[in-house]
Chains A and B, each alone.
Chain A
Amino acid sequence: MSKTRPDRAGDRTASSGGVTQHSGDEAGHSHTDRKMLSYLSRSAHLAPALKSTAQAVANGSKNIIPGVYEGVVVELVQPSPKALTAYTMAKRCATGPVRASAGIAATSQVRYAHTDIQVPDFSDYRRDDVKDSRAKSVESASSRRSFTYMVVGGGVVTGLYTAKSIVTQFVSSMSASADVLALAKIEIKLGDIPEGKSITFKWRGKPLFVKHRTDEEIETELNVDIGSLRDPEADSARCENPKWLVVVGVCTHLGCVPIADAGDFGGYYCPCHGSHYDSSGRIRKGPAPLNLEVPAYSFPEEGVLLVG
């Protein structure tokens, strides 16, 4: 904040008085009246009141009055009223005494209107239907509403689907891995198995018996009385294709592996406790309670067996 303004070329500084400097300016007048007047006007008491001087180009040797700092002044000014007709002028004509009133939040309240706040222009985000301030909003209300509902409804459905997919992906990562699943199936070429022979494969950690049955064996099994079996099961229920018997080679008694082409019934014989199975894998004699388990299998192609 500067208290005085520095002299610059072009500045006008006002000085009043300065009587002593001006004594040389005016040429001496011979007329006594003028001398009296000029003396009076130059006297130190009256000069400041009778005249005032403004320096056009300052030379630094005359006094300058201290400068003025122009700060920001907020003035409350009532603009002059506009009265252009006799009626409006008459409304401003007084007819009685002035009485002023004030109250709590009634008359004469100070309200701070922040006119420097600028409301941003949101027209980029507004719908075209309602951009016109003269358009009635009820006319476009149903179309706007249905658009909103469809977008939101579709978004919700998509979101739910996405959420479900993500959750199931994470949860199913805890199930069996691919290498384990790969070992869950076995493909067997049936052409390699001669008739009457039973081949053992390792499947899911268990022995798998695949027997190529002869016609006599099939005949024998079909004629067995199912009522006499400990675990009654028809041969057609156990073999999809009668020529092929596919069973899990685990004895149902205590889990030993039966031997093929052994026992009294032309099928399998478990040496641990003496269980006899026939060529359909059904228990005939011995301590085992159930027939040999038949896994899920299929013949995807001619001469190929897929188990698991």
Chain B
Amino acid sequence: MASKLTKPGLLKNVVQRSYGAQAATQQTSYTLPQHQPQVTSLPSGVVVASQENNSPVSRVAVLFKAGSRYEGPNHLGASHMLRTCVGLGTNNTTAFSITRSLQQLGGSLEAEGGREHILYGLEVIRDNLDGGLELLGEVSTQPSFKTWEMKDNLRRVKTELALREPSTLALEMLHKAAFRNTGLANSIFVSDFRLGKLSSDMLKDYVAQTHQAGRMVVVGLGVDHSALVNYAKGLSVGAGDGPAGASVYGGGELRHESDAPISVIAVAGSGASLGSSDAAALAVAQHILGVGPSVKYGSNASSALAKAVAGSGGSGMASAVNISYSDAGLFGYFVVAESATADKVVRAAHSAVKGLKVTEAETAKGKTCVKAAIHMASESSGECLADMGLQALLLGKYNDPVAAAAAIDAVTPSAVDAALRKVFSGKLSMSVLGNANIGYLDQL
């Protein structure tokens, strides 16, 4: 049979029904105990972080520093292939067995990839965590990239590439323009011409280089910390350093002409890296400038960018972009506008950002918005897990949302102003998808 998990106990139903028949104790209220997150660094270099959240669903993720920035010239596109090959055959199991067993356990498996990380995430019913962790370990550390499965996967990858939105493409182009020929410029999507060229040997080589103990983190929500530490110790990964993925901000422009009715433009300068002193200030600046409506069918009309765009005479919308990596960052604005009037909108957004006057009131409002965004993001367990994983992977520690909100409180208007000046005094990068008649950076 596909798995041993399908044998129901004969008396299981009877026993559970008997429990249900017992009289319920009278209680007026009941609060579940709150737990703190725990972080452990193992001598092998693996960082384990977990928090018990009393959820009936346990979430465990294994992260590696195997994002697209660590792709060498031989491995361009490997991180995308790795991400889409999750769940295919491993050294000790088949794709069918993984899928079926997980479905019977009541779990799901997904892989998330970014420029710096790959995350193998498992969500499973708490009682079946052991079975799920076994499969997670197989999938994350022992992929076998069988040639026929890779071949079948190509069609899926092509569909993924075709389903990308212009906003995604604009951001990829922005990174390419900003970081040029260094690691962070590599796209998280494989290029068309590299599609059939990544053989399973290359991918195994990439996995061997990047899936190592010093670049690994295991995080969990709704799990016992000591059990998770034992699990992390049991995962078989190599020891070593792996590729460094150095990145240097350069700045430049990239355009892709098309006759799409909507143009997408992204402009950014070198921002704050994770954990730097400017990070909190730029987060506040981002929310002062505007991140889009928080009310359905609204337009966030009170933000600086929305006001500027509304008064520009063009039809469009703008938001502020703030991206932080472990040693670099991007901060700027993102415009979506009708192609005919996009130039006006971009010029208005650019002048709004450059000429932003940061007042006390605006800073207070921005700080409140940032804190609200941090807390609202922590409402989703998946987001929480990814956040915990990324912090542990890139910083080696974990600041829970409360600590992060406290860090935001310390921001002053002058700090925000200084951070903005620093970003926009350096060289900027620009990417345009659509109408190419939009002014170049020196013309804005």
Interface residue ranges, A against B (CB under 8 Å): 76-78, 80-83, 86-87, 89-110
Contacts and interface: CB of A to CB of B under 8 A. Distances in A.
Contacts of A81: 165-166, 262
Contact of A77 (B162, B325, B337): B162
A87 B300 CA distance: 9
Contacts of B319: 90, 93-95
Contacts of B95: 104
Interface string B277-310: 0000000001000011100011110000010011
Given A102-B113, A110-B156, 12 more contacts: A80-B260, A86-B299, A86-B306, A86-B317, A90-B336, A93-B336, A95-B321, A95-B334, A100-B114, A101-B112, A108-B159, A109-B156
Nearest to B262: A83
A76 B317 contact: no
B98 interface: yes
A52 to B, nearest CB: 20
Interface string B367-399: 000000000000000000010000000000000
Contact of A98 (B86, B159, B168, B386): B168
Given A98-B171, A101-B110, A104-B102, A92 B159 contact: no
A78 B111 contact: no
A176 B119 CA distance: 92
B427 interface: no
Interface string B241-281: 00000000000000000101110101000000000000000
> What are the 5 A-B residue pairs with the smallest beta carbon separation, nearest first?
A103-B110, A76-B162, A93-B319, A104-B87, A89-B317
B323 interface: yes
Contact of B165 (A78, A97, A99, A103): A78
A110 B158 CA distance: 10
Contacts of A110: 155-156, 159
Contacts, number: 145
Contacts of A96: 321-323
Contacts of B138: none
Contacts of B316: 86, 89
Interface of A is mostly: loop
B51 interface: no
A103 B299 contact: no
Contacts of A93: 167, 292, 317-319, 334-336
B86 A95 contact: no
A109 B315 CA distance: 35
A110 B108 CA distance: 18
B217 interface: no
Nearest to B259: A80
A102 B167 contact: no
B266 to A, nearest CB: 7
Contacts of A89: 262, 316-317, 336-337
Contact of A97 (B159, B291, B323): B323
Interface of B: 80, 83-84, 86-87, 95, 98-99, 102, 108-115, 155-156, 158-168, 170-172, 188-189, 258, 260-262, 264, 266, 286, 291-293, 297-300, 306, 309-310, 315-325, 334-337, 386
A95 B86 CA distance: 28
30 contacts: A76-B159, A76-B161, A76-B162, A77-B162, A80-B260, A80-B261, A81-B166, A81-B262, A83-B262, A86-B299, A86-B309, A86-B316, A90-B317, A92-B264, A93-B317, A94-B167, A94-B319, A94-B321, A94-B334, A95-B291, A96-B322, A97-B115, A99-B112, A99-B188, A100-B83, A100-B160, A103-B87, A104-B86, A106-B110, A110-B159
A102 B111 contact: yes
A98 B261 CA distance: 23
Contacts of B158: 76
B221 to A, nearest CB: 17
Given A94-B266, A95-B292, A107 B110 contact: yes
Contacts of A98: 114, 168, 171-172, 188
Nearest to A95: B291
Nearest to B164: A78
A100 to B, nearest CB: 6
A50 B398 CA distance: 61
A103 B109 contact: yes
A90 B292 contact: yes
A87 B113 contact: no
A80 B339 CA distance: 12
**Most central of A93, A97, A102, A109 by chain B CB within 10 Å:** A93
A108 B318 CA distance: 28
Contacts of B297: 87
A76 B155 CA distance: 10
Nearest to A97: B323
B98 A104 contact: yes
Nearest to A80: B260
Contacts of B110: 101-104, 106-107
B322 A99 contact: no
A187 to B, nearest CB: 83
A87 B291 contact: no
A51 B262 CA distance: 34
B95 to A, nearest CB: 8
Contacts of B160: 100, 102, 108
Contacts of B172: 98
A106 B171 contact: no
Contacts of B260: 80
A216 to B, nearest CB: 99
Contact of A100 (B99, B112, B264, B306): B112
B152 to A, nearest CB: 10
Contacts of A91: 292
Contacts of A82: 261-262
Given A90-B300, A94-B171, A100 B189 contact: yes
